[in-house]
Every structure is written in C-alpha cells, then in structure tokens.
Amino acid sequence: TRSGWWRDAVIYQVYPRSFADSNGDGMGDLAGIRGRLPYLKELGVDAVWLSPFYASPQADAGYDVADYRAIDPMFGTLHDADAVIREAHALGLRIIVDLVPNHCSDQHEWFKQALREGPGTPLRERFHFRPGKGESGEQPPNDWESIFGGPAWTRVADGEWYLHLFAPEQPDFNWEHPAVQDEFRSVLRFWLDLGVDGFRIDVAHGLVKAAGLPDLGRDEQLKLLGNQVLPFFDQDGVHEIYRSWRKVLDEYAGERIGVAEAWAPSVARTALYVRRDELHQAFNFHYLTTGWDAAALRAAVDESLDAMRPVGAPTTWVLSNHDVVRHRTRFGSLARARAAALLMLALPGSAYVYQGEELGLPEVTDLPDEVRQDPSFFKANGQDGLRDGCRVPIPWSGDTAPYGFGEGGSWLPQPAEWAGLSVEAQTGDPESTLELYRAALRIRREHPDLGAGDAVEWLEAPEGVLAFRRGAFVCTVNMTEEDVRIPGAGSVLLASGELRSDPDVVPADTAVWWQG
C-alpha cells in the first residue's frame, strides 16, 4: 500500500438513501451500493465515504443514530455492510464510514433510559440535562439556538431540559463523561475490526462545550458556523478526544484514517484537527464556500496550503456534499462545474467527489414541500431547507423515473432531465461530464505530480484566469467571460469544454490541463 494513501486520495461520497435501491422500496440500500462498486472502481476513485446507514428513526436522514453497531433494516443487515467492505477491498477501493459522536437519536437506549429514570439519575449525566430558568424552570437553561432554528433545548415531562445543537431528536452527548468516551472508542474498534479504512467524523468541532454552558448573547448567534470559537463549537477540549482516537486508529494495520467535518472559524483553527497525533484530514469548507472568482479561489488555495503545511497534513478539496447546494447550481453553469472539477483535481492533496457531481447533476430546486424530508439547515447562512435538492436519487439508466435507481420509485421525485444525465446516457460519450471525470482521474493516477506535494506554483496569467504548474503540467482555468490566449496551452492533456480552432485559446469558463 502507498504510505499515506490518504494524502492524495480521491474519495467519493455515497449518500446511501439516494445511491442505489436493490429491493424496490424506493430508498437506497447497502446491497445497491454493493452492486455499484464496479462503477466506482471504473470511475477511478481511491476510496468511498458512506454517509450513515445505522439504526435510526431518520429524523435527520440517519445523522440521528439509535445504535452505532446496528444497520437500519431499510439499508440492510450487518452482513450487507460486511459484504460492501469486503467487495470494495477486493476491487482495491477503501471504505470510510460516517461516525456521529456529537449526538445520538432520542431513540438511543441511553437517552430512553435517561428519560425513564428522571432528574439526577446516572444516565442523564451522559447528556446535557439542566433545570430551566425562570419561576418554574419554564425557560431554557441558556440562549443557544439550534443549527436547525429554534432553541437548542427541549423540555421533558419531568421539567428538565436537554441540549440538542441540531434537531430535538438529536440529544448532544456530554463528552466530559468517561462512559461516552469509552463507548466511542469501542464503536471505533467495532468498525475497524470489520475492516473499515477510516471514519468521517460528523460535527467534529462540536463535541466539547464550554464549562457552565455560558450564554452566547443574541448578536453572536448571527456568527453561528462562522468566524469565531463559540461555547459549543471548536472548543480546545475536542483535541484530547482525537488524540485518544488516533491511538486506536494506529493500533490497526493499513493506515486507518480520521476525517474531521469541522466547521471551524478559520483554516488555521481547522489545521489543529490534523496535527500529527490527531486526525489525518479535515474538510476544506473554506474552499467549498468560495465562489466562482479567480482571485478568491487563488487566495483560498494558498491559505489552505499554508495552514496545512506546518502540521504536515494534506489539504482536502471539496465542492459538494449532502448538505450544500450542488456546485453546478451554485456556480451557475455546467461549464463552470466541469472547470471547477479540473481545477480541484489538479490541486495537491485529497479531493472529495459527491455522488452525482461526476454526472453534472444540478440542484433540484422545485421539489414540492410535501416531499421534503429535511429539517432546515444552515439557517445562519441563509440556505434554509435546501438540502433535499442535493439528495435526489441518482440516475443510472433508462428514459423514465426512477432511471435505474431501483424498481420501486424513489423517495424524492427525480426531474425529467435526469434521463439525459444518467450514467448510461453519458458512458462512452467523450463530451460527457462522466467521461471528463473518468479521464481526469485516470490522468491524475498516471501522473502523481497532479495530486502530490503541498504547494502550488502560480504562473503569470491575465486577470480572472488561474494558471499554476503541477510538475510537468500546467492547469489553466479561465473564469472570465472572454476567450483568453495562453501560449503553450495547445499541448492539451485534458480540457473541461470544447476548444477553439486556435489551440492556444482557452475559452470562457473552461479549464485546461496542458504539458508545458
């Protein structure tokens, strides 16, 4: 195995609900994923990250876990999970599973027991139960608000309140409690023993809360997910947890990794999660939240590389996931999405591909409210309840819904344009987005210079154009509305769009990899 496989790995995010349905119930499942592993191998990714498939009432699409060691029947059985891991390994693909340690489901045994036993009983210590404020405790213990909107506290029948940074169905664990710490080391081992190659750690920045759960103050709420350490996000105490988890990961052969989903206030704070004795990667949301602007993207690339270099961790690059508007829609065109992909795949470090981005899928913005299954998210960023739009089941084949996703419909309706965007419709078409991703991943694999190292050598380029050297190659991305002439670009290796008759011209909203 290449030492440090994760340093330049391309990791594909599978959202199990929407990837492939093997039993015709309209919901994706593990057997469906198993059947599509050859597709992922052929696409050319190195590893697959599976969003949660554990026992869950699905209040937050599986990020409300009722049993960390059990597979929800809607996704299959532990045998199915074992088969996905084994068959992925047989194909040379690594498997990363999602771990949700900040909170569990309100149907988790511990929480149910805490409710049954009432105030002052042991299980309540494993969560954040508090008496309310006011005459009869009728007000929440502090002024924190949930990411999904509304108070971050819910009152139970006996009068106490419990903390949930997300939905009321997602009570936050008390990470000061030894039983919580022990349980998650045991959960890590359970999945590591099954052979998983790593964990994507949900809300990695939220586990530890400031002592005393102090009020935030109204005006600070607006900075939620934003630009400063909050009493419930990015507290220094979380790093002790990851140091202890790194010890567990390092007990296992095969370089098992931890990937932090940490919405930290800066790339410098994010880098603290990937110090040598902590986790291996952290999602680069600074890059993901940067718009289609050459100067801003160049700054984000430099800041990310400069932040990760001192701690010896690779940068990660990610454009889409199950929580944000798909970048074809965010950037405003398929051309830009294709160019952004070539830009991302030429940068040093590890790149994440969200299911369907290789097909150029847009956000589905006209889902009727009655079909939405998602509590609103990113309220603070003005994106309210948009997440279903990036979760519409994947089109595999055929001219009618559910386009090969399964035999029994799909849990979210698919738009008619899915027919022309399916895997079948794009396979073999050299102009398709699917074949562009396949070619880019093949070239990246054949030329490790593209994903290697921890620095980018910027070249002179007109305003609005990014050009940087990657070993023997140059990546030029024209983000302007005009064609630009780039001497030498004619020795094209790969282009994200149709080129002009003059090979040295890079058209608007186009990226070119060329040898120079």
User: Which positions lie near ligand BGC, rule CB under 6 A?
Assistant: 60, 63, 100, 166, 202-203, 261, 322-323
Q: Which of 236, 251, 277, 384 is catalytic?
A: 251
In the DSSP assignment, the letter for residue 273 is G
For residue 32, the SS3 value is helix
Please identify, using beta-carbon distances, which residue of 7 and 128 lies nearer to ligand BGC.
128
Give 34-87 as a 3 state SS string.
HHHHHHHHHHCCCEEEECCCEECCCCCCCCCCCEEEEECCCCCCHHHHHHHHHH
CB of 3 to ligand BGC, least distance (A): 30
Q: Which of 29, 46, 169, 202 is catalytic?
A: 202
Which residue has 């106490």 as its token pair?
A: 160
505: left (phi over 0), alpha (psi -120 to 50) or beta: beta
Structure token pair of residue 209: 């809360």
- Separation CA 316–CA 312 (nearest Å): 13
- Separation CA 233–CA 371 (nearest Å): 32
CB of 511 to ligand BGC, least distance (A): 28
The amino acid sitting at 434 is L
CB of 486 to ligand BGC, least distance (A): 38
Please identify, using beta-carbon distances, which residue of 63 and 411 lies nearer to ligand BGC.
63
Do 203 and 157 form a contact (C-beta atoms < 8 A)?
A: no
Q: Which of 243, 252, 226, 114 is nearest to 171 (CA)?
A: 114
Structure token pair of residue 328: 């074809």
Which H or E element spans position 103? none
Q: Rounded to the nearest 10 degrees, how much is the dihedral formed by the CA atoms of 371, 373, 375, 381?
A: -70
Residue 240: active-site member = no
- Separation CA 345–CA 340 (nearest Å): 9
Residue 498: active-site member = no
206 half-sphere exposure, CB direction, 13 A CA radius: 20
CB of 184 to ligand BGC, least distance (A): 15
CB of 263 to ligand BGC, least distance (A): 8
Please identify, using beta-carbon distances, which residue of 126 and 200 lies nearer to ligand BGC.
200
Which H or E element spans position 155? strand 153-155
Please identify, using beta-carbon distances, which residue of 8 and 357 lies nearer to ligand BGC.
357
- Separation CA 129–CA 141 (nearest Å): 9
Do 486 and 504 form a contact (C-beta atoms < 8 A)?
A: yes
Please identify, using beta-carbon distances, which residue of 195 and 226 lies nearer to ligand BGC.
226
CB of 377 to ligand BGC, least distance (A): 6
CB of 318 to ligand BGC, least distance (A): 12
Please identify, using beta-carbon distances, which residue of 322 and 338 lies nearer to ligand BGC.
322
Strand partners, 391: none
Which residue has 């027919």 as its token pair?
A: 419
DSSP alpha helices (H): ranges in 222-275? 238-249, 267-271
CB of 262 to ligand BGC, least distance (A): 9
Please identify, using beta-carbon distances, which residue of 256 and 322 lies nearer to ligand BGC.
322
Give 300-348 as a 3 state SS string.
HHHHHHHHHHHHCCCCEEECCCCCCCCHHHHHCCHHHHHHHHHHHHCCC
- Separation CA 28–CA 12 (nearest Å): 16
Please identify, using beta-carbon distances, which residue of 102 and 510 lies nearer to ligand BGC.
102
Catalytic residues: 202, 251
